[in-house]
Amino acid sequence: MSDYPARAVVDLDAISANVRTLRDLASPAAVMAVVKADAYGHGLVPSARAALAGGATWLGVAQATEALELRAAGVQSRILTWLYAPGAPLDRLVAADVDVSVPAGWALLEVVEAARATGRTARIHVKVDTGLGRGGALPRDLDTLLDAALAAQAEGAVSVVGVWSHLAWADAPDHPTVLAQAQVFDDAVRLAERKGARLEVRHLANSAATLTNPAMHYDLVRPGLAVYGLTPVPQLGGPDRYGLVPAMRLEAELVLAKLVPAGHGVSYGHVYTTPTQTVLGVVGLGYADGIPRHASGTPERAGAPMQVGGRRVGIAGRVCMDQLVVDLGPDADDVAGDRVVLFGSGADGEPTAEDWAEAAGTISYEIVARLGARVPRVHVGGPVGDGGPAAARGGAA
Ligand SMILES: *Cc1c(COP(=O)(O)O)cnc(C)c1O
């Protein structure tokens, strides 16, 4: 592991266990593990396999390329994909038996064309904008869209298997928009069924609604963040409140440690000056690796925390492109090669992705999902038959 001075160690057994927990919580609803964005930075294919081993029966991805990558790796579960522009490779998705979201008439036309080109029936989920104001058809356009979809179904070009939507305020379960969106959703489902759709799945819940709002579960829940052991509702408690275990540990070796005098400026712009004689450590991770520059440390504002030799230390000065500096303290005896844990599950007293989110003024989603492609992912544990249960090198994702 010394060919790169940092890595994200991903515990695939934690992912499986988290999905098992979510499945028990959501049952009888099924679980679609959302593995978009390289499984929130955890590595697409190994994470997807671990989620399936934990009992997910569906996988969800934003991009067509992500769905095709899963199929190319031999993943056979149902997959739904939902973000594409005109001209996307829908024929390849349909040929690969990937379910496709349909948010508008142009998308339906392209899916029908792809179905004719491949000679297969495309499985579609009609996306309704129940109030998020992002993807999906507005209720006023739904009548026309459903008529066209069911006409295409009568021809055998498509099968309308799902109606789905997404919540704006799922992380505030009592927010009035949640109930209002559910009512619009129920109307959309009724309309589709009245027109003759025989839906396999109605789905609305992300992690927050899966964890906090059983009324939103319907037939299928779509957790993403919780699969990786993080909580979208930190105000209600940590991951352990829901029996979740963070799967990623970001660690590095110090590439340098040195004693400097008091009053020494540190990193670009000298926004941090050593208050006393102290030992500075250098870590080979920077903003090109997804370390937020907002996690920089000044005497006024503590930088993001990390753990060295069982102690908590903080980023000193500005985060650079490839590296950052940490103030190890005046009595530190750390040397180059010693291990630094930036964040992990917290089980050994290390900071968590949530701690980093707070330090950088963002959410834990961003801390893990933005982790750069340059950082090796090292997968440990995981389903037998997936390269064996021993540590498997994930490579740069
Ligand atoms: C990302 C995403 C999810 C998962 O959201 P989490 O908050 O991570 O659980 C579910 N549905 C859609 C449409 C998404 O884009």
* Ligand 1 touching residue 18 (CB < 6 A): no
Query: Which residues have a Cβ under 8 Å from the Cβ of 341 and sit 6 or more positions away?
Result: 249, 250, 251, 306, 307, 308, 348, 350, 351
Report the C-alpha gap between 26 and 219 in whole angstroms.
9
Give the CATH H-level superfamily of domain 57-226.
Alanine racemase (3.20.20.10)
Q: Quick check: 232 and 171 in contact, CB under 8 A?
A: yes
**36 annotated active-site:** yes
C-beta atoms surrounding 348 within 10 Å = 10
Q: Compute CA distances 1 → 54, 285, 378, 397, whole Å.
A: 28, 15, 9, 16
Q: Quick check: 341 and 283 in contact, CB under 8 A?
A: no
Query: How much distance in Å is there from the Cα of 300 to the middle of ligand 1?
Result: 36
Query: How much distance in Å is there from the Cα of 35 to the middle of ligand 1?
Result: 9
Atom of ligand 1 nearest to the CA of 226: 9
* Ligand 1 touching residue 394 (CB < 6 A): no
C-beta atoms surrounding 250 within 10 Å = 27
Query: How much distance in Å is there from the Cα of 358 to the middle of ligand 1?
Result: 21
Q: Which of 4, 84, 228, 268 is catalytic?
A: 268
Query: How much distance in Å is there from the Cα of 58 to the middle of ligand 1?
Result: 13
Q: Copy the structure tokens of residue 42.
A: 């955890």
Query: How much distance in Å is there from the Cα of 255 to the middle of ligand 1?
Result: 37
* Ligand 1 touching residue 207 (CB < 6 A): yes
Report the C-alpha gap between 136 and 127 in whole angstroms.
5
pLDDT of residue 183: 98
User: Quick one: how far is CA 7 from the chain centroid?
Assistant: 18
Q: Quick check: 181 and 131 in contact, CB under 8 A?
A: yes
Query: Partners of 201 in the beta sheet?
Result: 162
**4 annotated active-site:** no
Q: Compute CA distances 143 → 82, 99, 164, 349, whole Å.
A: 21, 22, 15, 55
* Ligand 1 touching residue 225 (CB < 6 A): yes
User: Quick one: how far is CA 301 from the chain centroid?
Assistant: 28
Q: Quick check: 61 and 84 in contact, CB under 8 A?
A: no
* Ligand 1 touching residue 232 (CB < 6 A): yes
Atom of ligand 1 nearest to the CA of 135: 13
CATH code of domain 248-380: 2.40.37.10
For the chain, the structural domain boundaries read: 57-226, 248-380
The alpha-carbon radius of gyration of the chain (Å, integer) is 23
pLDDT of residue 385: 52
* Ligand 1 touching residue 229 (CB < 6 A): no
Strand residue runs (E) in 84-216: 99-102, 122-127, 158-164, 201-205
Q: Which amino acid is located at 33 in the chain? A: A
* Ligand 1 touching residue 162 (CB < 6 A): no
Instruction: List average pLDDT for each run of 10 residues in the chain, which is 397 residues long.
Output: 89 98 98 98 98 98 98 98 98 98 98 98 98 97 98 98 97 94 98 97 98 97 98 96 98 98 97 96 98 90 94 97 98 98 97 97 98 98 60 40
Report the C-alpha gap between 319 and 337 in whole angstroms.
20
pLDDT of residue 375: 98
Report the C-alpha gap between 244 and 18 in whole angstroms.
5
